[in-house]
Every structure is written in structure tokens, then in C-alpha cells.
Amino acid sequence: MVERRIVVDTLRLNYQGIMDVNEFYRVMDKWFREKGFDKYEKRNFEQVLKEGRQIEIEIEPWKKINDYAKEVMRIIFLFTNVKDVVVMKDNHRVNMQQGKVAITFMGYLETDWESKWEGKPITFFMRAIFDQYIYKINTDKFYSLVAEDTMHLYNILKAHLNMQRYY
């Protein structure tokens, strides 16, 4: 059985203003490719309302650290009141969106993700001892890796949204 430990719990980023939703998604996707993450999109839902579109996206990017540990993030995007607008950028008309976005980041460390230590009670016990005493130094490194990657993505997306603010 996979053991999932929370490293980063509900880190939030809120923004209201003009943005390019497609470019925002491309920036995030490029970061995942550069860092070696595989992406699983759990939910992608769009609804058209009177006050604008509402878009919900939930993704779980993951990266295998080794045969025993895996880094997993859960990122939930909620775009509300999204309306298409045209802005002038360098004397060109650019189609963008205006609205609100709320992003929630969570980072997890999954151990024994291939369930190799779950076959018998003795191996389950050995895994607990192994985690607590022998492999603790490496597990602590994995915790810091998950926290570092989650914060780095948070800062990249925050910087991208702040660049959009000045159009």
C-alpha cells in the first residue's frame, strides 16, 4: 500500500485581472517537462455562466525519485468570471482574458509506490523500521525536494501572473 505523506499543505495563490489562460497553462506545462514530471489531469471542466466562464482544472503531476519514493503535486485551478478582452501590446491587438483565478498547491511524498513491501506482515514491519531508522536521511532529502519543487512552481506562476498585470 502506498504511503502518502503531506509535505506542502494548501499553498494558495489568488489573482484578479488580465491574463492569458492558454499561455499560463503553457508556462506550467513547460516547467513540468523541464523538471521531468509526468502529468495526470484529473479534472478539466468549463461552464459558461451569465457573468463569465468558470474553469476548473485539477492536475496531479508526479515524478519518480527512485524505486521506493515518488514526488506528487496536486494543483487545483479555479478561474471565475473569465471574459475575453482585446488589449494593445506593442501596437498589436492581443486576445486575452479577464477574471479571477485561485490556485491551490499541495505537495506529497509517496513511499513504496510499487507496493513491494506489502506482501507479508514481516515485510511491512521491516519497511516501518527501514523508514524510521535506516532510510531516514534520504527520506528527509525527498521531503525537501518536494517542498522545493512545489515552491518553485508557485513562484514561477506568481511571477507570470504579475507580468500579466501591466498590460
Tell me: the pLDDT tens digits for 7-61?
999 899 999 988 888 888 899 999 999 999 999 999 999 999 998 899 999 999 9
First to last CA, the chain: 49
pLDDT of 132:
76
**Structure confidence at residue 163 as a pLDDT band (50, 70, 90):** low
Q: Are strands 52-64 and 38-49 parallel, antiparallel or unpaired?
A: antiparallel
Q: What percent of the chain has pLDDT over 70?
A: 92
81 C-beta neighbours (distance < 10 Å), count: 15
pLDDT of 115:
63
Q: Which sequence spans correspond to the domains of the chain? A: 3-164
Q: Are strands 92-111 and 38-49 parallel, antiparallel or unpaired?
A: unpaired
CB-based contact 17:165 (threshold 8 Å): yes
122-155: pLDDT as tens digits = 777 777 777 777 877 878 888 999 999 999 999 9
111 C-beta neighbours (distance < 10 Å), count: 19
pLDDT of 167:
39
74-121: pLDDT as tens digits = 999 999 999 998 888 788 888 889 999 999 999 999 887 566 666 677
